[in-house]
Chain A
Amino acid sequence: MDVTVLDRQQATYPLELCASSVPLFQSYLGSGPIVDLKRPEAYLGGDGFHEFVYFPVGGGPEFGDSEKLNLVPPDAAPGYCISRTSSCQMTAFHAASMKEEREDMILEKMESTTGSDSRESFTKRKAEVVADHKSKDKRIKGEVEGESEVKTKCSTQVSRNSSKENSKACEVQKPDYIHVRARRGQATDSHSLAERARREKISKKMKCLQDLVPGCNKVTGKAGMLDEIINYVQSLQRQVEFLSMKIAALNSRVEFNVENLPIKEFPAYVANFPAAAKLPAMPNLTCFQLNPMQKEAVNCMLNETMHPPLTATEGIASASVSIPEQALSSSTITQLQPFSTWNMDPQGLYNVYDMGFH
């Protein structure tokens, strides 16, 4: 029975195709003995399998690395052979004729590349063909499930990357395609494979976002999480607006100058604001913590030898020395009180915000 299958294969394809399409051959060959599906062990250890493997190799000396081709079957072929069995039984021959052009293309590609790379890339291109074949026949889903079981058995036996068309992230030298594992009972055509890959990428990213956004763990489902993320982004943006409003208000009120701040060290200061008192490099700023000393602090700051970025600001700095003193002559506490009310009541600031619009 096998021989007849082979004869038919050889009739449809020219001889030179045989050697190059060794794995392809096995796929079709594997479709022959339908009975063996029930006995997957036959593939793994059976001699009949090896017959399939070695038969066509002799027919293709013109492809140079016949030795390499010899090597291919025992390692890579099992995966193919077995993986193809289920899907290819009935449709292989129908598909074969349709795929002739495809084989020609594959053959051309095979010719262009040489060495082990050709083997790898060819097996990868096989993935396309295999995927197409599988899509043709969804009736055999049951056998696809059986196949995946066989495949797992097979992969434990074969150390090289077998089941190339379906294994994810194996150590391939030429990552031309993204490999996704087909799960049980799932369609395995190229479109749904790509879709599944995308969906998994997206869910991975959603998980990262979940870590960033607080309170996302309680919500389940992607839509709920997206809503949480949207709310969080909105709240952050509103906070930025609120804080810039606050700074604007404070800017107009409190009159000490920012230019005299040690700009290079300010980031560090900002970073550990509570511990500012401990920073030895900025003894002046420690005065800021105490409100009654604010006037003195301002003077200290102004006297500090800084390098203001704009020369014009120096004039302003000197001009504004008097203003802070006047501003601070009034009790600092009364100054701070409106701020505290504003802190408690963002509504006040928002009123200002609204007024600005009208």
Chain B
Amino acid sequence: MNNPHHLNPTSLKSRFTTRFLRALTKIRAQKPISSSSPTEIFRRYRRIKAAADKSMAYSVRSRRIWSRAMLWKLRSRSYRRQDPCSGRRSGKTNQAIMKKSSNENTTTRREDGVGFVEEADELRQLVPGGETMNLCNLLDETAHYIKCLTTQVQVMKKIADFYSF
């Protein structure tokens, strides 16, 4: 590995890339290749997007609030798809947990005293798991989330370019 262009194998980019490619191969393996109707493409798009989000969240593991929230969301969605009854149950318990944590944090959230509640709320909706963060944490998470999103976009662009030959 003397090539200076080779990536650090433990970097976020390489972790995400390997995971995402594996997921892509799985997706391609599942579906028949023939169909190219818009609905099929749309379904595949959903799957690929979920795979991208999942790969990114797994690459970050549980080190960040937003990645934990995203993983939980993805898992609950897959549970719901597999078994509607269990999905409801797990959804309820998880919602209870989220509500509790949000109640704990609402006092800190509302009394920011800094004055931009509207923008902060909007940002909270964008960043996964943002509803339960106070402004300080929200800004931290946003910075890391932006970094991961840019990595994701870069890798996916390259993959798309690669495919489009």
Contacts and interface: CB of A to CB of B under 8 A. Distances in A.
Given A205-B143, A234-B126, A252 B33 contact: yes
Contacts of A309: 22, 25
Interface string B127-165: 100000001100110110111011011011111111111
A229 B142 contact: yes
Interface string B77-120: 00000000000000000000000000000000000011110011
Contact of B39 (A237, A243, A255, A356): A356
Interface in B1-49: 3, 5-7, 9, 13-14, 17-18, 21-22, 24-29, 33, 35-36, 38-45, 47-49
A357 B41 CA distance: 12
Contact of B28 (A206, A243, A257): A257
A251 B27 contact: yes
A344 interface: no
Interface stretch (A120-128, A129-137, A178-186, A258-266): A258-266
A205 B29 contact: no
Contacts of B136: 198, 201-202, 205
A256 B135 CA distance: 47
A147 to B, nearest CB: 26
B43 A356 contact: yes
A13 interface: no
Q: Interface majority SS on A: helix, strand, loop or mixed?
A: helix
A259 B27 CA distance: 11
Contact of A244 (B48, B120, B142): B48
Nearest to B6: A268
Interface in A193-210: 195, 198-199, 201-202, 205-206, 208-209
B71 interface: no
Most chain A C-beta atoms within 10 Å of own C-beta, residue among B28, B39, B127 = B28
Interface stretch (A26-34, A41-49, A95-103, A272-280): A272-280
Q: Interface majority SS on B: helix, strand, loop or mixed?
A: helix
Given A205-B136, A232-B146, A222 B116 contact: yes
For this complex, into which size category does the number of interface residues on chain B fall?
35 or more
A252 B42 contact: no
For this complex, into which size category does the number of interface residues on chain A fall?
35 or more
A200 B22 CA distance: 44
B52 interface: yes
A265 to B, nearest CB: 8
Contacts of B28: 251, 257-258
A233 B22 contact: no
Given A212-B147, A252-B35, A353-B42, A206 B139 contact: yes
Contacts of B60: none
Interface of A: 195, 198-199, 201-202, 205-206, 208-209, 212-213, 222-223, 226-227, 229-230, 232-234, 236-237, 239-241, 243-255, 257-259, 261, 263-264, 266-268, 270-273, 275, 279, 288-289, 291, 294, 308-310, 312-313, 316, 320, 323, 336, 339, 343, 352-353, 355-357
Per CB-CB distance, the 5 closest pairs between chain A and chain B, nearest first, are: A356-B42, A226-B119, A248-B45, A267-B14, A248-B44
Interface of B: 3, 5-7, 9, 13-14, 17-18, 21-22, 24-29, 33, 35-36, 38-45, 47-49, 52-53, 113-116, 119-120, 122-123, 126-127, 135-136, 139-140, 142-143, 145-147, 149-150, 152-153, 155-165
Given A258-B21, A273-B161, A355-B42, 17 more contacts: A202-B114, A205-B140, A208-B143, A209-B142, A233-B146, A241-B45, A241-B49, A243-B156, A245-B48, A247-B156, A259-B25, A266-B18, A267-B13, A308-B25, A310-B25, A313-B25, A356-B38
